[in-house]
Structure 1
């Protein structure tokens, strides 16, 4: 998948290669016709997959590459709307999902104050038309341009026959729209099973294993302490059944998200520490990925280390049983 990080240059009134283009790849001198799926796509959930899948169908019908356009940072965060400093799919994860869905090209548009002031017409003339799009597919509620004044209907009018426009209606689960907001609410409530259902895959976070207080080893349950490498939405504090991918191998395990109240009066922020079943080794400095398979219980303070150890044994037994009975959502 070709990745182009682009930005709007107000001086020239055109898009250009962004300063953070990692590999120095330049935009093609001539537009590359494509079928384009466009949206914020935080989560790349089932509704987003429907949009990208529809664009993929059009791309194959027309013999064109499938392109996906997203915006970074998240527009809501740039515009000061609360709740979007943390993401379901930080950019590296989002691009990985695009590639899995068959994207040939990804356009990552740098969203800043200059870009936010583009009118819907300017967005079409200065961004979409120069990229040579032949078909644009978006969600039914997609907004673009200054103050979100653009809609799929106005996009169709502004296209003036130069490209086709298709709007995809939203998906519903239990009479609720599948949305990033609903997934965030599920995670905030610890309902990682609902999050997985809406995503079409387990919710996951990645991070580097760092040194902790090493108390787990002394009580017979060594843990890997994760320092998240991206601004993920973190599920509600508690104990979870997880699958952890480390060194290309998947291990079952349990993860505690919280403040470890049995041993600490007050930690500055929640920690994520996972005990991996049947693992014996050193993961310090390695990047691991944790997929949440289920919620076990709330974090609580125990009266003694022995009481905590007994509860961890019960948690591990429950997690092993749950993992035997379930298969990963892929």
Structure 2
């Protein structure tokens, strides 16, 4: 059998295997949804106005039906590859600093990837037809999602649950997504070039995208309900981490005391949760399966810098994406630092 035919056969088998893991209800739903070429699965489907992989759709439907938010819950929201791992590490450390001192030699971040400490609703808790036992998760519960605000369960929107959103500029977000997905994409699906992926991204066809819709959903809520949704920017976090940590702690109802600030607690959290510190930890250098069973934890850490897009995009790409974002964000007063 020729290599091309072999790859096509493998691709069909992988797609069939993926379909077999879905409920009959989800399989029937997929047959009614628009679909496009996928990044790490054969297809992405347009579900409730955003693009998703099949197993994600099944899990999200379960989250929407079954998850009951508590007023004390904190939900961390991001679009993929916009600082999710970093945000999880920071929020976990801030919320647990009273019981787990930052300088503790047995701090959980030293032995567990942030994604293991702050579980995703759709990738972990409700994945694979599971209904989680929340009695094992201490309160206040710290959870995460990539879902757009519009897709969150009603209990999240209507309760006193707090939502923290971290946004990253669209240029670096795209570059990071492409590098990450290249490591996860099955060979049988063929190569997805940088140019092809960029076209898909600009068309909105990216996991949980369109990017701008995801962004604006949380941005608008943060303006309307400042006590409910906190909107953070990756670039501002990088530029002045300590002030953003204090802003986050204040929002969570756990402000740093004067004694803590004088004692260097904010500095210690900033250092412990920094990109380089996390990247150098053994669990993140050699561990596996923090999010996907087939992924290595080190793949979650590439550069973590602002402005790397300039090393990848052509001037015409930059102009195209800049024009799209100018149009999509027009009137929102939302802008990003690009370099």
TM-score (norm 2): 0.26
Structure holding more helix per residue: 2
Larger C-alpha radius of gyration, 1 or 2?
1
TM-score (norm 1): 0.26
